């Protein structure tokens, strides 16, 4: 991986952690918020996609549209489960678990279905990632009243960092990590075999996300409540909405370009340096305590994915 590509991925990891902090600040309105920020991203990217097509720089095809639509399905599943996970468990557990599990699942899929054989460092790195996740999610002994010595976001919401809270965080993180692996593998294939324009591909994917979710908010049971949430988000969460709508596509576009220049087995692990940033921001913004243990675990995770990359 060249220094330029490494710089792209590291910058993307910082942007990714920042938009996750903004997303964490909007609770209880998961579907509506995901629709709102993907919709705004689609509005911002649509003129660029139109220009690329009209100018003849890149050609449109049904294959490209189909690839973007499948990517949209994976990203919807990821985004909705991410918001739900943040509603039910501490960011300091959900975020590092999701970002650590994703690369491991990617390796498993590559071995089982793509015929890849991980080297010894990659295998060791996978186990180190799991160990790091365990360290991040270790919580101190509970004290009276159901409180814990680590406090944090979970306690401020009333469920504390109990074993149930950690268990929920692990479960949500594992689910989110599965979707991360899904869209990572598919998008890597798409930008290397279906289109040479990550910008056009991602713009079409965002338009598909917004379209599918807009239809869903009308047709899925409970749509009236989600539409009320959507209106509330537009009125009361403008800063978070704008932050996620800009930083989320920026972070992932940089990753897509990096995937064209370096193997996904390198890009996917390196982008998980966002775990370090996310852990620090969870401590800073949401008061999640036990920062020493969390940061130690985050460093272990990064060391593990570093071995995966070097392997």
Model confidence at 67, pLDDT cuts 50, 70, 90, reads very high
- Residue 124's Cβ-count burial label (10 Å; 0-12, 13-18, 19+) is middle
Q: Which of the listed ranges 77-86, 97-106, 234-243, 278-287 does the model predict with the highest average pLDDT?
A: 234-243
Cα distance between residue 103 and residue 266, in whole Å:
10
Cα distance between residue 273 and residue 305, in whole Å:
9
The pLDDT of residue 157 is above 70: no
Instruction: Write down the pLDDT at residue 93.
Output: 81
* Global pTM value: 0.80
Query: Long-range CB contacts (< 8 A, 24+ apart) of 138-145?
Result: 138/290, 138/293, 138/297, 139/163, 139/165, 139/166, 139/290, 140/290
Cα distance between residue 272 and residue 258, in whole Å:
14
101-152 pLDDT per residue, tens:
887 887 778 778 877 677 888 778 878 887 887 777 665 544 444 444 333 3
The mean pLDDT of the chain is 82
∠ Cα 175 178 179 (to 5°): 95
237-281 pLDDT per residue, tens:
999 999 999 999 999 999 999 999 888 877 877 887 777 777 777
């Amino acid at each position: 991986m060249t220094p330029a590509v490494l710089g792209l991925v590291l910058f993307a990891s910082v942007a990714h952690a920042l938009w996750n902090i903004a997303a964490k600040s909007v609770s209880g309105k998961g579907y509506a918020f995901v629709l709102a920020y993907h919709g705004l991203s689609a509005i911002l990217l649509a003129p660029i996609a139109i220009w690329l097509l009209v100018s003849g720089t890149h050609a449109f095809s049904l294959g490209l549209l189909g690839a973007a639509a499948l990517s949209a399905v994976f990203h919807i599943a990821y985004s909705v489960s991410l918001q739900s996970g943040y509603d039910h468990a501490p960011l300091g557990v959900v975020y590092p678990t999701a970002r650590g599990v994703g690369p491991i699942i990617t390796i498993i899929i590559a071995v089982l279905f793509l015929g890849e054989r991980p080297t010894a460092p990659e295998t060791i790195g996978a186990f180190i990632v799991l160990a790091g996740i365990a360290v991040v999610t270790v919580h101190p002994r509970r004290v009276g009243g159901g409180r814990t010595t680590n406090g944090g976001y979970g306690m401020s919401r009333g469920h504390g960092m109990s074993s149930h809270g950690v268990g929920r965080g692990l479960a949500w993180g594992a689910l989110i990590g599965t979707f991360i692996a899904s869209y990572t593998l598919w998008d890597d294939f798409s930008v290397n075999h279906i289109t040479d324009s990550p910008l056009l591909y991602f713009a079409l994917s965002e338009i598909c996300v917004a379209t599918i979710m807009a239809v869903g908010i009308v047709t899925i049971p409970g749509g009236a409540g989600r539409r009320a949430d959507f209106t509330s988000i537009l009125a009361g969460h403008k800063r978070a909405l704008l932050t996620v709508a800009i930083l989320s596509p920026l972070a992932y576009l940089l990753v897509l370009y990096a995937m064209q220049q370096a193997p996904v087995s390198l890009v996917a692990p390196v982008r998980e340096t966002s775990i370090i940033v996310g852990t620090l921001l969870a401590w800073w913004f949401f008061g999640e305590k036990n920062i020493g243990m969390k940061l130690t675990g985050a460093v272990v995770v990064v060391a593990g994915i570093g071995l995966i990359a070097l392997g």
